[in-house]
Structure 1
């Protein structure tokens, strides 16, 4: 029996791995006629350690997130996906994505890359994809390959 997904959430951070996850998410959303939502989490924990924090780093991170999501939106439209929701969250991606954002949109599938941008954190306390897999109450697809998906 084949599973049909209705609400797909894909986590993007600008990494190559997230790009691969996005491409597969568009394909799966089109194949399932599903709603696709992109989430980018601005990791505010890194701002705490900067003593001279004056808001400019947060503003740059917010602008980066907006531009990243807008680029993905254009790419999805070019592939035939007409509706794409985007969400910018703030906090720790490991907890925000599976426990907050997925519940907010009633996700039945979360798609993420196997490795993201933060290699040091992954070494010390595990990857975001690992935590999503452990914490999510829905199916999770961890994308490891950059195989091209053709529609």
Structure 2
């Protein structure tokens, strides 16, 4: 009896590592004929400080999230993935991905990049991928290299 994944959740933030994770998620979704959940979390913790200087920051973050997710969705569908769900949520990616979205979609695999866009936070309080690995209710694949390396 082989292990299969029916629902794969991939976390994307626009970084090159997230792109690698996305490519791996497409491969695995094809292999297992899985549902693919594309998730982007708009980190609202930055709104309070940035909002003082730029009142349109939240609007820009929402536009970026929508464009990012729609681009990934189009690429997944072009690759032949038939069941793709886009999810944009708000809050801390460290909490939302493993504790909320994984449960909401009954994910049996989460795929994420080893590092992402928020380098400063990673240095001081740990990475998003580390939190996902620690708190996820399912298997986690942390992608460190390009698909073809």
When normalised by structure 1's length, the TM-score is: 0.94
Unaligned 5+ segments in structure 2 are: none
Q: Check whether the contact 1:10–1:39 (CA below 8 A) recurs between aligned residues.
A: yes
Matched positions, count: 149
- What's the Cα RMSD here? 1.4
Is 1:64 matched up with 2:84? no
Partner SS state of residue 82, structure 2: coil
When normalised by structure 2's length, the TM-score is: 0.95
Change (3 A) 1:51 1:40: closer
> Aligned runs of 1:13-32 on 2, under 5 Å?
13-32=13-32
Change (3 A) 1:80 1:122: same
Per-residue CA deviations over 1:13-54 (Å, capped at 9, x if unaligned) read 000000000000011011101100010000000011135267
Partner SS state of residue 50, structure 1: helix
Q: Check whether the contact 1:47–1:53 (CA below 8 A) recurs between aligned residues.
A: no
Find the aligned partners of 2:120 and 2:112 in 1 and give their Cα distance.
18
Find the aligned partners of 1:7 and 1:135 in 2 and give their Cα distance.
18
Find the aligned partners of 1:142 and 1:75 in 2 and give their Cα distance.
21
Change (3 A) 1:53 1:89: farther
Q: Check whether the contact 2:23–2:147 (CA below 8 A) recurs between aligned residues.
A: no
Q: Check whether the contact 1:8–1:25 (CA below 8 A) recurs between aligned residues.
A: yes
Find the aligned partners of 1:122 and 1:47 in 2 and give their Cα distance.
18
Per-residue CA deviations over 1:49-83 (Å, capped at 9, x if unaligned) read 13526751111101101100111111112211122
The match for 2:100 is 100
> Aligned runs of 1:110-129 on 2, under 5 Å?
110-129=110-129
Unaligned 5+ segments in structure 1 are: none
